[in-house]
Homo-oligomer: A and B are copies of this chain.
Amino acid sequence: MGELLSGVEESSKKAGRPIRVGMLGFGVVGSGAYRMLTDNRSAILRKVGTPIEIVKVGVRDQEKPRAVSQDLVTTDLNSIVDDPSIDVILELMGGLDLAGELVERALKNGKHVVTANKELIAKRGAKLVSLAATQGLDLHFEAAVGGGIPLIQPLKHQLAGNEVLKMMGILNGTTNYILTKMTQNHLGFEEALGEAQALGYAEADPSSDVDGFDVQFKLAILSSIAFGHEVLPEAIYRQGIREVAAQDIAYADMLGYVIKLLGIVDALEDGGIVARVHPALIPKAHPLASVSGVYNALWVRGDFVGDLMFSGRGAGSDATGSAVVGDLIDVCRNILLGGAGNTSTYDLPVKTRSIDEVTNAFYVRLIVLDKPMVLSKLATVFGQRGVSLSAMEMRVLDAEKQHGEIVFLVHPCLERDFQQAIEELRSAEFVLKVASWMRVQA
């Protein structure tokens, strides 16, 4: 250690024995974290006060070439979480069951854990966080949401005095890239998806991204942290972007909006919360509207802090590796200073509620039979529920058949009332098709 410290002033840092780290997984995130620990070794040493040593790397395929000494690599993952000389486990392998067992075993063995595993934390976070707290250990997962953007720790620490009133996030770079391309280059969904796949931004099976599962996991984690009770992914309403049409993006643009896939959680007045994932129109002036391409962002409204936004690269080896290393540095400081176990648990009574209880404005596009009284009938369907319409656009699709397209905005109303109105429209004789509808966020 003397050699490693040469040239670095020790000053008042408490120096100690090296911190021994075992890695599970050496893929995109693991290799990024390892590269950062290597490239920025001396600066990290200065901040931590003692060296961080990667002593074992657990992988599936021993023979695959990797940028890490073959001596460290093993396929025996249990030997890592059971190694009594290891202080910290980096779980960067992904997946649910095996990763979950290994993390649990590591915590039970007295090891701190840093993970980037959003599915694991979304589905089993409450149990694991509680186990870590009981054990007096750190369990950090900043990398699970928003790549390198600090989100989870600021919610747990700097914003801890606030009641969170609302959060809206662009939490998936793939879908944000697709929607950005659709908007800028006037592409359809399939075309933009193809481009994203060609560039490696989207998987061959894009469902996890485009159907909103990935955002559902991330929103579950953020909501659990912000509201202090377990919000499971399946309690979150989910709608992906496959149905977003080029016409909708064009109409939204005319009306002053852009379309984004958002993860949203609202605190209701009675203390309940509603979490949901869906495409939405947001005004061009909203800070989230200018978050383009693969960038991610989280917008937060707190009762004291007001409106905040955090944005940056939400994925990628380096950015996600940065979050893992940031967590690891914190764990090391806690090991040296004795302050580990500083973990928020999710122990309040669950209070997630249905999307039916949320109030939104809506965008609607209908294909109609263009006959007298259509507008009046349309207004009546919503008017019966006390809801007004605005920003009407109409165009003739087929003059002979009298087919037309109507686009309008519905003033804020309860989801439940809106859905009833849409059902009524589906069976109205003047409506040929409810071509699309989407929520509008202020």
Contact = CB atoms under 8 A, between A and B. Distances in A.
Interface of A: 9, 11-13, 32, 35-37, 39-40, 43-44, 46-47, 130, 133-134, 136, 142, 148-150, 153-154, 157-163, 228, 285, 287, 290, 302-313, 316, 318-319, 321-323, 325-330, 333-334, 337-342, 344-345, 347-348
A149 B321 contact: no
Contacts of A36: 161-162, 304
A285 to B, nearest CB: 8
Q: Tell me the dominant secondary structure on chain A's binding face.
A: mixed
Closest 10 pairs (CB-CB, A-B):
A339-B339, A161-B325, A150-B158, A308-B312, A148-B305, A11-B347, A158-B326, A305-B322, A150-B154, A12-B133
A1 to B, nearest CB: 18
Given A13-B133, A150-B157, A333-B342, 13 more contacts: A11-B130, A36-B161, A154-B154, A157-B329, A161-B328, A304-B322, A304-B325, A305-B313, A306-B316, A334-B339, A337-B341, A337-B342, A338-B338
B348 A40 contact: no
Residue with the greatest number of chain B CB neighbours at <10 A, chosen from A43, A287, A304, A316: A304
A148 B321 contact: no
A400 to B, nearest CB: 45
B306 A40 contact: no
A104 B284 CA distance: 49
Nearest to A317: B304
B160 A44 contact: yes
16 contacts: A9-B348, A36-B161, A36-B162, A47-B228, A148-B302, A150-B158, A158-B326, A160-B325, A287-B311, A304-B319, A305-B312, A308-B311, A309-B310, A309-B311, A309-B312, A337-B341
A312 B136 CA distance: 34
A158 B152 CA distance: 10
> How many copies of this kind of chain does the complex include?
2
A159 B326 contact: yes
A39 to B, nearest CB: 8
A9 B350 CA distance: 12
Contacts of A302: 148, 322
